Amino acid sequence: MSSTSATTQGVIPVHLLKGQKALVTGANSGIGRATAVALGRAGCDVAVNYVAGREEAEQVVDEITAMGVRAAAYEADVSQEDQVVAMMDRMVGEFGTIDILVANAGLQRDAALTDMTLAQWQKVLDVNLTGQFLCAREAVKEFVRRGVVPEVSRAAGKIICMSSVHQIIPWSGHVNYASSKGGVLMMMQTLAQELAPKKIRVNAVAPGAIKTPINRSAWETPEAERDLLQLIPYDRVGDPDDIAHAVVALASDLMDYVVGATLYVDGGMTLFPGFATGG
Ligand code: NAD
């Protein structure tokens, strides 16, 4: 195929990220899985991180290697410093380097404030915020060591933080999750400011409602989906490829001047849909 050929999905130029090495955390499910596959389709070699569910991770690896690029599954809990350091060492040893980090792993532990345990609060902050900090720190060490390789990319490295519309929309009953994503926004912007002079681009993708296991109850019955659609001007619930395609674009040199931005991929959820008819 030529470099202008599209994928079977007809949207990703197959050589957009040719030869780049990408790590996607939480890549054996939902958005992470779709992102890992899309990066492979765009020409990346892909490290598929997982914390549980080795079989699913191996399926993702098989799907990616079938495209003619490399992939490997790496087990690590992103909230554990020693495991993140070991994962990055292994990736650099086996892949040679890292060019793209997609800090995607995340979870919810929902409860009303007075029912929320410290363990629920801490777990969500540890995975969703500290996990992204640890992965970013270790990736940046390698970006800085290696520097820009012009044949590969104009940047020395790209980090895409998986945030959420809840980095700016308060979310009752989810104070741990909304706080973690609010933290991701400020972490992302601060890292972008700190690292831009080193030619490292840090950005975020903020999904709206995407059909994945994390929010199954919000879309799995017709009634729940109808209620959810009230919040989405574009009138459809998103799917993981909607996010994966945004990540691929942001990671590519097409977006080389995009630094410290959040790309909301939400069908308009952040447009205050209640004001379409009220206000
Ligand atoms: P998901 O549950 O399908 O995937 C989450 C992934 O993170 C899983 O692979 C899980 O095993 C992994 N993970 C959890 N804890 C981990 C840890 N300690 N170490 C490594 N991996 C870990 O859900 P998803 O919807 O695909 O979520 C992916 C990201 O997208 C999350 O950061 C989530 O907050 C964000 N997001 C999702 C939505 C949505 O509507 N689905 C909306 C906004 C943001």
**What would the mean pLDDT of 15-35 be, rounded to a whole number?**
98
Question: Which pLDDT belongs to residue 6?
Answer: 40
pLDDT tens digits, one per residue of 149-181: 999 999 999 999 999 999 999 999 999 999 999
Question: Which pLDDT belongs to residue 10?
Answer: 65
pLDDT tens digits, one per residue of 178-215: 999 999 999 999 999 999 999 999 999 999 999 999 89
Question: Which pLDDT belongs to residue 276?
Answer: 92
- Provide CB contacts within 8 A for 76, sequence distance 6+: 49, 51, 83, 84, 86, 87
Predicted confidence (pLDDT) at residue 7 exceeds the cutoff of 90: no
DSSP lists the bridge partners of residue 150 as none
Length of the chain: 279
Count Cα atoms within 13 angstroms, Cβ side, for 111.
13
Active site residues: 177
Please give the domain boundaries of the chain with CATH numbers for all domains.
3-268 (3.40.50.720)
**Tokens representing 228?**
């959810």
How far does the centroid of ligand 1 lie from the alpha carbon of residue 155, in Å? Answer: 27
Residue of the CA atom closest to atom 39 of ligand 1: 210
Give this prediction's pTM: 0.97
**What would the mean pLDDT of 26-45 be, rounded to a whole number?**
98
Q: Hey, which bits of 113-192 come out as E strands?
A: 157-162
**What would the mean pLDDT of 22-50 be, rounded to a whole number?**
98
Residue of the CA atom closest to atom 23 of ligand 1: 214
Confidence of residue 11 (pLDDT cuts 50, 70, 90): confident
CA distance linking residue 32 with residue 244, whole number of Å: 8
Grouping H, G, I as helix, E, B as strand and the rest as coil, residue 231 is coil
CA distance linking residue 118 with residue 131, whole number of Å: 18
Confidence of residue 12 (pLDDT cuts 50, 70, 90): confident
Predicted confidence (pLDDT) at residue 127 exceeds the cutoff of 90: yes
Supply the mean pLDDT for the chain: 95
Which uninterrupted H or E stretch holds 203? strand 200-207
Find out whether the beta carbon of 184 lies less than 6 Å from any atom of ligand 1. Answer: no
Handedness of CA 157, 176, 171, 186 (dihedral sign): negative
CA distance linking residue 30 with residue 105, whole number of Å: 10
How far does the centroid of ligand 1 lie from the alpha carbon of residue 65, in Å? Answer: 23
Question: Which pLDDT belongs to residue 278?
Answer: 85
